Amino acid sequence: MLRVAVVGSGPSGVYAAQTLVQQREVPGVRVDVLDRLPAPYGLVRYGVAPDHEKIKSLQGNLRTVLEDERIRFLGNVEVGGDRLPTERMLELYHAVVYCVGAARDRLLGIPGEELAGVRSATAFVAWYSGHPDAAGEDFDLSRVRSAVVVGAGNVAVDVTRMLARGEPELAPTDMPQPALGVLAGSGVRSVSMVARRGPSQGKFTTKELRELGTLPGVAVRVDPAELAIDPAYAGGPAAAAALPAVARRNLEVLRGWAEQDPGPAGGAGRRIALRFHLRPVELLGGPDGRVTGVRFERTAPDGRGGVTGTGVYEDVEAQLVLRSVGYRGVPLPGLPFDPATATVPHAAGRVVRAGRASVGEYVAGWIKRGPTGVIGTNRPCAKETASSLLQDAGSLARRDLPGDPLEALRAAGLRPVEWPGWLAIEAAEAELGHSLGRHSVKIPDWPGLLGAAAGTADRPPGDGVPVAGD
Ligand code: NAP
């Protein structure tokens, strides 16, 4: 038997586990999928926006894999800490595949980042997704009229959309009750999503961009003058034809908005402004230490795909600024880390230590290739890693292991949440939703999740704040 640990139960981890058990060359592979959280599915549960139900339904596919009899889910197990260092993992398993993602946000590196009201999109996403590490976050939107989102990727589009949506669209989601209450009471009237480069260089995908124009009661604005700065737009159809298909389609969508009269904002009275060629240079604050706006410098194309400053500045009012400028990998103690790329050095998925492939250690997903691509991108990425592992299987399997790793984890003081524990969390979330007159609603904190997993959840209906301890 080849006993493998996959660390991380997001898409890359689950796809790696699936590839390992479903292949035929190496029989008898058994996989433990470990996760620091008591709940599986990684960013599909805690990153995909709650209103994106179709993408969220991928959880069903991941569930089928985790229910395979050759795979065992063990949540609430932190690898790389004192109790379970990476060296110990190599004693307990023949091979370990790290699929730990890229957990940290990136800073803008401009003055004013410490002002109250300047937050990362990552924190906002974690908060409305009910990530238990975000239980201490609070977002007071009641006094926010204007919000600025810095960045032009799909996360920026997600948070812009969530700020613009009304309660009727959010209530059917699994968003935690406290977050729903805050968004329902939001005073936000305008959201500006601001890109430092041009409209043909947005990182968002067309489907996500187009969706902004479908939000009930929300008017989308694009300034034709900002489109005109982009050579691919100003050059007309011939220049646009040379663009990659996604950029070409994005430009068409933006052109449509620029050409239409947005009219007054609809029922919710909200507007989204998509701004281009503005780079943030300073976050402006009031005497109370709260952000009041963002100073941008107008940029111009430099002819090489980048931009240069023009010395012309524009201040945009904001009581909330979300920086949405990408994720960053975090070093896992015991694993090598390249700070320049914020990834683990690897060769075809084999972890590289001091220039050599480390025996039995592998990576897949964002910690391997950086925070890029959509969920499906993880499939070929995980397959490459799994096939490297399977090539090494002959020599890896020769080593005797001490026995069932679960016993060793328990002996180390860990309290793994197994699949029935996760099912109990799911049942508790369904019950919580029922008590609130909603569909399933996420339990947003550690005591609540662990209490539900242990079958001891005890919560007053209505507030969504669990009281049960572990
Ligand atoms: P991203 O796609 O890398 O976008 C980051 C954005 O931040 C870019 O527009 C970038 O501009 C901008 N930026 C970076 N540094 C900046 C700075 N100092 N000042 C101003 N702007 C700056 O990252 P992401 O949006 O976090 O998304 C991460 C990954 O998750 C992506 O692969 C994304 O597609 C995926 N995702 C997908 C979905 C979906 O499919 N629905 C949803 C969410 C996330 P430049 O281009 O000029 O560098």
Residue 268 region, left (φ>0) first, then alpha (ψ -120 to 50), else beta? alpha
377 by Cβ neighbours in 10 Å (0-12 / 13-18 / 19+) ranks as middle
> Quick count: other Cβ atoms within 10 Å of Cβ 330?
14
Non-local (6+) Cβ contacts of 462 within 8 A are 177, 435, 436
Distance from C-alpha of 184 to C-alpha of 313, rounded to nearest angstrom: 34
pLDDT digits (tens), the chain, 470 positions: 999 999 999 999 999 999 999 999 999 999 999 999 999 999 999 999 999 999 999 999 999 999 999 999 999 999 999 999 999 999 999 999 999 999 899 999 999 999 999 999 999 999 999 999 999 999 999 999 999 999 999 999 999 999 999 999 999 999 999 999 999 999 999 999 999 999 999 999 999 999 999 999 999 999 999 999 988 888 888 888 889 999 999 999 999 999 987 666 555 589 999 999 999 999 999 999 999 999 999 999 999 999 999 999 999 999 999 999 999 999 999 999 999 999 999 999 999 999 999 999 999 999 999 999 999 999 999 999 999 999 999 999 999 999 999 999 999 999 999 999 999 999 999 999 999 999 999 999 999 999 999 987 555 444 443 333 33
Q: What is the CA(274)–ligand 1 centre distance, in A? A: 15
Cβ burial, residue 278 (10 Å; 0-12/13-18/19+): buried
- Please report which helix (H) or strand (E) contains residue 41, including its range: none
CA dist., res. 330 & res. 337, Å (int): 8
Residue nearest to atom 21 of ligand 1 (CA): 151
By most ligand atoms within 8 Å of CB, the mutation choice from 54, 105, 124, 203 for ligand 1 is 203
Considering only CA atoms, which of 395, 420, 416, 394 is closest in space to residue 407? Answer: 416
Q: Which atom of ligand 1 is nearest to the CA of 152?
A: 9
Query: Atom 15 in ligand 1: which residue has the minimum CA distance?
Result: 325
Report CA(152)–ligand 1 centroid distance (Å). Answer: 6
CA atoms of 15 and 13, how far apart (whole Å): 6
Ligand 1 midpoint to CA 332 (Å): 23
Look up residue 115 and give its DSSP letter. Answer: S
Where, residue-wise, is CATH 3.40.50.720 in the chain? 2-103+329-417
Centre of ligand 1 from the C-alpha of residue 369, in Å: 15
Atom of ligand 1 nearest to the CA of 306: 47
Query: Where do you find CATH 3.50.50.60 in the chain?
Result: 106-275+284-294+316-326
Pocket of ligand 1 (CB under 6 A): 108, 150-156, 158, 195-197, 201, 203, 205, 208, 279-280, 324-327, 371-374
Ligand 1: centre distance to CA 49 (Å): 15
Could you give the CA distance from residue 338 to residue 344 in angstroms, rounded to a whole number?
6
- pLDDT for the residue 233: 83
Distance (angstroms) between ligand 1 centre and the Cα of 31 equals 33
Tokens of 429: 């979330």
Q: Which residue has the tokens 């599915």?
A: 41
pTM of the model: 0.94
Ligand 1 centroid distance, CA of 79 (Å): 28
Q: From CA 163, how far away is CA 205, in angstroms rounded?
A: 19
Say if strands 278-285 and 291-301 run parallel, antiparallel, or are unpaired.
antiparallel
**Which CATH number is correct for 2-103+329-417, 3.30.420.270, 3.40.50.2000, 3.40.50.1820, 3.40.50.720?**
3.40.50.720
In contact, 147 and 319? CB cutoff 8 Å? yes
Closest CA to 404 of 393, 416, 395, 394: 416
| Probe residue for ligand 1, chosen from 196, 296, 341 as the CB with the greatest number of ligand atoms within 8 Å | 196
CATH class, domain 106-275+284-294+316-326, is: alpha beta
Looking at residue 265, its pLDDT comes to 54
Pick from 294, 277, 289: nearest CA to 146 = 294
Q: Looking at ligand 1, which atom is closest to the CA of residue 122?
A: 26
